[in-house]
Amino acid sequence: MSFSGRRPLSIALTVAVALLVAAEAYRRPELNWDALAYAGAAAELTGADAGRAQRTAYEAAERFRGGEGPLLSEGHHPEYRRTMRTDAEAFHATLGWYRARIGYTAPVALLMAAGINGIEATVAVSALSGAGIVLLLSAAGRRWKHGALLPAALVTAAVLGTVRVARFSTPDALATLVLFGAFLLLRDGRRSAYALFPFAMLVRSDLLVPAVIIAVLHAAVVPKHRIAAAAGIAASLLVVFGLHHWSGYPGWSEAYLFTFAGSTGGTFDGALFLSSLGAGVSALGTSTRFFAAAGMTAAGLAVVLRSGADPLRHPAARWLLVAVLIIGARLLLFPMMDVRFLVMPYIIIIVATTDIVDGIVRPAEEP
């Protein structure tokens, strides 16, 4: 995925867009209380105890660009926010959710150790991840013969959420970067992609769902990848359960399933789970984003079918199916409509669709 052989204009365009994405994300971050919690979890990684981690996080918020905005606001949960600010042990107890995203909090902790404000560090990691997404997307376009396709792909990705995901002080941009990198390796036929899956779990453990979808559909058609895919998913499961046991992540100590509906006292609540699935079905049935992705996928599959190829053995067509399944699973199991959760499958759709448009889709792999 190097830039060797690329025209200087393409490289200049890529660098310019990457810098613009990073600058826009850093200049206008979308902050919420989570940034405080991630700063606190990162402070713990540097050796801070509960009291010091809380003080570090809130002092960082007070110093961050004037201390204004939602960071210190009591918002819709005033009692909870007041408790977090005044009770160090309560703040420490709630960090399990954030502590589990060590793939994100670790680079934040490194920046904090270098003297950077903790909130500023969360903004910087996300902004740099956004720039990384642009670089990977440009690398994906090294196959495309037509010069206009790369700018079109970069603009489309920006419209579909690359800039927005980079503006959040959450692991979402870094998660998109890691899983998109795995996709590009698989697109090139490299089994080393599965080694990225366990690392992706360190960034966001709910990436297990798209990782399983990618591994199953790809390995089903490419037998030589099956052992690597199984090993990648097995390692990911070990990371998920081990990480959640270490971090005190609520509801994950016994089954990954708990996170879909929450848990109470470590006991699975079937009624709550069914209620969550009902909300997911409703979200799926009303999501314009899902139907837009499904429409793009259907159009791509129609082109492939018209050529007489088998969609499952046609790499780009298969990736379109993977992307729409990821979006569907996300909405069904985690019915949150924010676009930042869907940027990664959107980018897969952009790359696969552009492969088809360019007419240079790789031949189907031999089983």
CA distance 286 to 54: 40
Q: Give the pLDDT confidence score for residue 253 in this predicted structure.
A: 37
Q: Give the pLDDT confidence score for residue 365 in this predicted structure.
A: 42
Over residues 143-170, the mean pLDDT reads 86
Residue 99 has pLDDT above 60, yes or no: yes
Residue 72 has pLDDT above 80, yes or no: no
Residue 68 has pLDDT above 70, yes or no: no
Lowest-pLDDT range of 7-16, 220-229, 328-337: 328-337
Residue 1 has pLDDT above 60, yes or no: no
CA distance 342 to 194: 21
Over residues 129-148, the mean pLDDT reads 88
CA neighbor of 37 nearest in space, from 335, 247, 334: 247
**What are the Cα distances from residue 76, in Å, to 73, 79, 170, 327, 356?**
9, 9, 20, 29, 47
Lowest-pLDDT range of 69-78, 155-164, 182-191, 199-208: 69-78
The answer to whether residues 181 and 351 touch, using CB atoms and an 8 Å cutoff, is no
3 state SS of 315:
helix
**What are the Cα distances from residue 70, in Å, to 24, 182, 336?**
19, 34, 20
Name the pTM for this structure.
Answer: 0.85
Residue-wise pLDDT tens digits, 335-356: 665 677 788 999 999 999 998 8
Confidence of residue 227 (pLDDT cuts 50, 70, 90): very high
Residue-wise pLDDT tens digits, 352-366: 999 888 874 444 443
Residue 256 has pLDDT above 80, yes or no: no
CA neighbor of 135 nearest in space, from 171, 184, 194, 198: 184
CA neighbor of 122 nearest in space, from 168, 191, 159, 76: 168
Q: Give the whole-number percent of the chain exceeding pLDDT 90.
A: 43
Domain ranges of the chain: 100-358
